[in-house]
Amino acid sequence: MRAVQVVGYHTKLQLTDIPEAEIQGPLDVIVRIGGAGVCRTDLHILEGQWAGKSGVALPYTIGHENAGWVHAVGDAVTNVQPGDKVILHPLMTCGLCRACRSGDDVHCENSRFPGIDTDGGYADYLRTTARSVVRIDDSLDPADVAALADAGLTAYHAAAKVARSTRPGDVCVLIGAGGLGHIGIQVLKAISAATLVVVDRNPAAVELAVAIGADHGIVANGTQVEDVLALTGGKGAEAVVDFVGEGGATSEGVRMLRRAGNYYVVGYGEDLVVPTIDIISTEINFVGNLVGSYTDLQELMVLAAQGKVALHTTKYPLADFQQALDDLDAGRVRGRAILIP
């Protein structure tokens, strides 16, 4: 089968032929990929940022946002059968550790992460497990929802925290209206009563944000902090969700936060530098967000089936993987780029 693999860091991916994915255990599921999301994390992988953390052996197949059709199942699999349309939770989890048993499977002590530390979905087929597959509504196409498996799930995970901690009249600022941000806007519009303020340096992204539910859109042109403070009577927002995490976004975002506010870190790439006296004197909180749980993904698929969350995508044949990565890196992709085998 075809697979796009990391053959070295600081070098380009390569499309190659490798043995077809096969059942190796009773709970294994082989999925024929219908869509694989192209994520900025993929760029960070090629930059070597994940090399020490993942410990993956090269070469390996990249791609951690995947959806498609069940192709084959192990003898003990009962929740899906060949032909079922599914989206894949990005982690393969054990189900037995303390985190899994408490429903916090994103912190599974024995997890594997296809596309990060084991073979992923930039390929014709992917091997995962029964615990990772979520059946999706017949109205949904795998290529249209694939990026919800990580970008959408991460955005939902953060948005759900915001929804639990905000009340009607509270303000939530979302920094970045790109691949994750445009999903977070829709999720918050569906499950929260907070007033949504979106900040992005790209006017087209701000325009899209307002069209899909943001109450206010601010183009980041140097006065964005002052603009947010003006909207909030000088007090700042109760919540800031940072989907960027680099290029100075964090220092600006913290200045948008009110006393006792919550800063949700989603995007990454730079250091968060805040004097500890400022943290204790204002009682602000910094909350990290990885991907969400299996249950989070199920709930997100309900919103997708109801038409409340939709991905804006640009689709590429698998063979055009380099163009997709280049377009993402250059900021030419609105929403998410999807590879289709």
Torsion of CA 192, 197, 199, 203, to 10 degrees: 110
11 and 123 co-located in one domain: yes
37 and 123 co-located in one domain: yes
Q: Are strands 28-38 and 336-340 parallel, antiparallel or unpaired?
A: antiparallel
What tokens does 19 get? 């043995």
Model confidence pLDDT, tens digit, residues 167-178: 999 999 999 998
136 and 42 co-located in one domain: yes
117 and 228 co-located in one domain: no
Last residue of a domain, one of 271, 288, 305: 288
165 and 282 co-located in one domain: yes
Its domain, for residue 95, covers 2-150+291-340
Number of structural domains in the chain: 2
Last residue of a domain, one of 270, 288, 306: 288
Query: Nearest Cα to 268, choosing from 289, 245, 250?
Result: 245
Say which amino acid occupies 215: D
pLDDT attached to residue 178: 85
CB neighbours of residue 340 within 10 Å: 16
Model confidence pLDDT, tens digit, residues 265-311: 999 889 999 999 999 999 999 999 988 999 999 999 999 999 999 98
Residues of the chain with pLDDT under 70: none
pLDDT attached to residue 121: 98
Model confidence pLDDT, tens digit, residues 115-149: 999 999 999 999 999 999 999 999 999 999 999 99
Rounded to 10°, the helix 181-191/151-165 angle is 40
72 and 104 co-located in one domain: yes
320 and 200 co-located in one domain: no
104 and 144 co-located in one domain: yes
Residues 132/74, Cβ–Cβ less than 8 Å = no
Distances (CA, A) of 138 to 89, 147, 305, 324, 336: 18, 17, 9, 27, 22
Say which DSSP state 264 is in.
Answer: E
Last residue of a domain, one of 268, 288, 308: 288
pLDDT attached to residue 334: 75
Q: What does pLDDT average to over the chain?
A: 95
The CATH number given to whatever domain includes residue 182 is 3.40.50.720
68 and 157 co-located in one domain: no
158 and 271 co-located in one domain: yes
pLDDT attached to residue 38: 96
SS3 238: strand
pLDDT attached to residue 290: 87
114 and 179 co-located in one domain: no
137 and 90 co-located in one domain: yes
